[in-house]
Amino acid sequence: MKAVLFICVENSFRSQIAEAYFNKYAPEGWNAASAGLTPAERLHPNAVKLMLEEGIDISHKKPQLMTRELQEKAHVAVIVCSGSLCPVVYVKHVEVWDVPNPAEMPLDEARKIRDLIKSRVLELIERLKSYEEG
């Protein structure tokens, strides 16, 4: 099984959404995990609400610490946060998406960030499929 690791600071919003979308639409043989540098106590309530709108329940998920073990398992790491707090990772293929933090945004604005993450995840999946086929 090949793995994608989505990373942000608290692992409570952006990276959790990206992980959920990836796992819903993942190509065969791939799965995703997510982690953060300083994990929050729980998921952001708006992340749960926004994903329920998409028919995906992430309410059972818990933010987790980014560890060396998670990095070693990953074939691709995607840093979804923006700014100087974003981590350095030790994975062969790293992408930086620089997604604004929706945690303090009104729900309508956060919904736009969710949709941006979804489109980027779907683009990543298509690239992975092309790579596997080519």
Of 47, 48, 51, 81, the active-site residue reads 81
- Chain segment 57-112, per-residue pLDDT in tens: 999 999 999 999 999 999 999 999 877 666 677 788 999 999 999 999 999 999 99
Number of H helices, E strands in the chain: 4, 4
Query: Is there a domain that residue 132 lies in?
Result: no
Query: Is there a domain that residue 133 lies in?
Result: no
Q: Which residue, chain included where needed, has tokens 């692992």?
A: 11
Query: Is there a domain that residue 29 lies in?
Result: yes
Query: What pLDDT is stored for residue 100 in this prediction?
Result: 93
Q: Which residue, chain included where needed, has tokens 């300083």?
A: 38
Tokens of 25: 């639409």
CATH number at residue 118: 3.40.50.2300
Query: Is there a domain that residue 8 lies in?
Result: yes
Of 86, 96, 105, 116, the active-site residue reads 86
Of 3, 4, 5, 8, the active-site residue reads 8
21 is catalytic: no
Query: What pLDDT is stored for residue 81 in this prediction?
Result: 84
3-state helix, strand and coil shares in percent for the chain, rounded to the nearest 5: 40, 15, 45
Phi, psi of 128 (to 5 degrees): -65, -40
pTM greater than the 0.85 cutoff: yes
Mean pLDDT score, 14-39: 96
Tokens of 54: 């998409």
Give the residue numbers spanning the domain of 62: 2-127
Q: Answer yes or no: is pLDDT of 16 > 90.
A: yes
Query: Under DSSP, is residue 118 helix (H, G, I), strand (E, B) or coil?
Result: helix
Ordered alpha helix ranges (H), the chain: 14-25, 45-53, 68-73, 107-133
* Amino acid (1-letter code) at residue 53: E
Q: Share the mean pLDDT of the chain.
A: 93
C-alpha 73/C-alpha 86 separation (Å) is: 20
Query: What pLDDT is stored for residue 89 in this prediction?
Result: 79
81 is catalytic: yes
Domains in the chain: how many in total? 1
12 is catalytic: no
